[in-house]
Amino acid sequence: MEKVLKGLQPEAIFKHFESLTRIPRGSGNEKEVSDFLVKFAKELGLEVIQEECLNVIINKPATKGYEGAPRVILQGHMDIVCAKMEDLEFDFEKDPIPLILDGDMVRTDGTTLGADNGIAVAMTMAILEAKDIPHPPLTALFTVAEETGMDGVIGLRPENISGDILINIDSEEEGTALSSCAGGVNNIIHLPIEWQDIDTAKAVYKLSIKGLLGGHSGMEINKNRGNAIKLLGRLLELIGSKMDFDIVGVSGGEKMNAIAKMSDVVITIDGANEAVLKSIIDDCQNVVSNEFKTADPDIKLYIEKTSKPQKVFSEKTKKYLISILRLIPNGVQTMSADIEGLVESSNNIGVLETKENKVVFSSAVRSSVKTLKHEINNRIQTICNLTEAKMELVSDYPEWEYKVDSPIRDLMADVYKDMYGEEIKVEAIHAGLECGFLKEKVGDIDMISIGPNLYDVHTPNEHLSISSTKRVYEFLCEVLKRIK
């Protein structure tokens, strides 16, 4: 297969990154990439541990003169979010990522790129195999299932890893060092379905909402983009105010931690009301096009006839479904009063599914304040109490609190100033990083998070800056050189 990234600098990074794009590594499907990393370490003669959960830990001795320096853990996750354009035929379990070079950017032809967080893995691999980079004792930690609940770091065995400093490479903005992140939990609502026979005289239509930008539910939750699942609830309520209808099924979104960019519903109506239904669709299109003309300008509503099912939701189930869609918190809930511009708490309803006997609503709740995370969940529980639904909390992960004294943060500030003549930005992030769990597993060690410029992660438009990758790698190598 042709090497698309051949010749890009640093060559070692892009060589490894391209290799990673040819290995299936969606969350929960990391066996092949985990084995690949183990093989890589063994070929270098480095000590390696593959945990039962498939985390990989690789240790590299210090270079000469650095034997007494603090041990540094370089950390990233090997799994990726698998999202693609709706009409693209692509199988993330077997097809290589279709890489494209576009000026200073590496992007793809209609899929996520996997630079979140494959670029961390590739950078660390380059450092592990390098013979000309002075560095302290190193531990590389590659975790699994970060994108779907941080199961890898939860399963990390503390006896397998130790260190004094941890550098997480899962940030997405060059020149910014992250020193705090939100905690979160996956909130799942289960609404039981009461089925009833369909009125065979009714006409059946599929209504779809498409064309939204979507995006990362942490990094881009503050951009006021539309959520197709929430918009679906609004559309259904509007239809119910104008005519009688029944619901056959609903669906929407792709990933819990991605803003939903499409949704659909199958409904039945009296065939005589087709013109009214189309008029409602047109009116709703005009409203959302105006409301999101800047933040999400390509929203489109569609209607088409479809085949008749055998069952529809009962009136009670329909009422409860629409109530949940309308009432569930979504988007930014509070902004931080301490850190300007920081989203403090949010919720994203990312996936809507109709199953055999229930409708499932999957949301990602995030907050840098633990009690606010509980508050959002409590509000959702109240909605469940009113609709006979059940709430389940899965993969709860802790926040990473800001540390006043951080030698690694101070060192990075000095190195950045020396290399680029500018001050590095120190920020907190609303997205979840693994640092909170790592504090629990490794101890209260000094932590920081950096990374190159990445754009539109978790979407088919994800792209990575080549020049930024080079600069961040050189910066990281200089930081390691100065840790003695």
For residues 369-385, b (16+ Cβ closer than 10 Å) or e, as one string?
Answer: beebbebbbeebbebbe
DSSP of 151-176, one letter per residue?
HHHHH--GGG---SEEEE-----TTE
Q: Angle at the Cα of 77 (from 74 to 81), degrees rounded to 5?
A: 155
User: Quick check: bond before 10 cis, omega within 30?
Assistant: yes
Asked whether the beta carbons of 350 and 255 are under 8 A apart, the reply is yes
First-to-final CA distance of the chain: 42
Catalytic, out of 79, 151, 246, 462: 79
CA-based nearest residue to 434, from 171, 164, 71: 171
Catalytic, out of 18, 30, 116, 146: 146
Asked whether the beta carbons of 421 and 173 are under 8 A apart, the reply is no
Say whether 220 is catalytic: no
CA-based nearest residue to 183, from 18, 400, 412, 22: 400
What values do phi and psi take at 214, rounded to 5? 65, -145
Say whether 146 is catalytic: yes
Q: Are strands 138-143 and 56-60 parallel, antiparallel or unpaired?
A: antiparallel
Catalytically active residues are 79, 146
